[in-house]
Amino acid sequence: MSERLQKVLARAGLGSRRGLEEAITAGRVTINGETATLGQRVSSADAVTLDGQTIPSESLFEETRLVLAYHKPEGEICSRHDTEGRPTIFDRLPKLATGRWIAVGRLDINTSGLILLTTDGELANRLMHPSSGVDREYLVRVHGEVTPDHLEALTSGVILDDGPARFTDIVIHPEDDEEKRNRWFYVALMEGRNREVRRLWESQGLQVNRLKRVRYGCIFLPSFLKQGHYVELGQKEVDDLAKLVDMPSRKVPKMSPQELKDSKRRLGKKAQAPRKGGASKTAPRTAPAKSRSGKENWTTARAKSPRKPSTRGR
């Protein structure tokens, strides 16, 4: 069976779909010694190279998929390299024999919380694309007097510099105190434009001074996961993510004992304690959530989110 070249390369974690299409167009990919063309089909019998490096056939066609949940601290960036030498989320991730980790969306340097990373470029692309309708949920602390009119405007829609935007859901945190100048909310939206959560609140004359992503689609940020640490998602959780964007199940390989040992040693050297005064320290307490079936599972009970995923707007 043959598949389109850019799809196979993206699935192997060799880059984003757009980046790989640009690489093919630029002549950086060959098939059986001939320069590849965009949309060309390839099978396991073909020899594929990218930038002169032969890509093992098993990495291109083996039906496997890895996904990590990473707890990003403030102060890290989501770029793979930084000219200013700032720490990136990729500094802490386990090494891969082939392919690379692809971040599902971004968080700005002052935002903490959940980042999903995968070896499957096609999965990452679909989870990020607004047409897939996969929502993101944030815990946000807002400074200022928040009125019902503000909340109505933010869910109805406002015009930002790059077009209309809105929250699909706003829920007041159960332990929020409306008498205080700092208010706590959970907000959800369907896309991840640059600083969109902050800009939405700023459109109402309000200032966000704490922002933490607590959910992406069906995956919650686990409460046990310290800042700067990651956890591998299991077969069920990865399959649930794939179902959100109509992708088939693929095997989730387990790390070898040596890989697990190396991973723990790397985290022990690089992980830092959460910052004092960070969102994880100042946020109100939360209670465990349950799935719609009433049974607690990895993505709900261990994440200790106080509410179910928003389904509004899906």
Q: According to the model, what pLDDT value does residue 307 have? A: 42
Point out the catalytic residue in the list 108, 135, 176, 239: 108
What are 5-61's pLDDT values in tens digits?
A: 988 888 777 887 788 899 999 999 999 999 999 989 998 889 999 999 898 887 777
- CA–CA distance, 86 with 211 (Å, rounded to integer): 20
Domain assignment present for residue 312? The answer is: no
Report the 10 Å Cβ neighbour count for 36.
23
| Judgement on whether residues 120 and 160 belong to the same structural domain of the protein | no
Q: Do 187 and 208 touch, CB atoms closer than 8 A?
A: no
Helix 17-25, helix 121-128: angle, nearest 10: 120
Same domain, 195 and 230: no
**In the predicted model, what is the mean pLDDT of residues 151-159?**
95
Residue 85's domain spans which residues? 67-130+218-282
Residue 290 domain flag: no
Is 239 inside any structural domain?
yes
The pTM (predicted TM-score) of the whole model is: 0.69
Asked about 135 being catalytic, the answer comes back as no
| Domain identity same for 13 and 84 | no
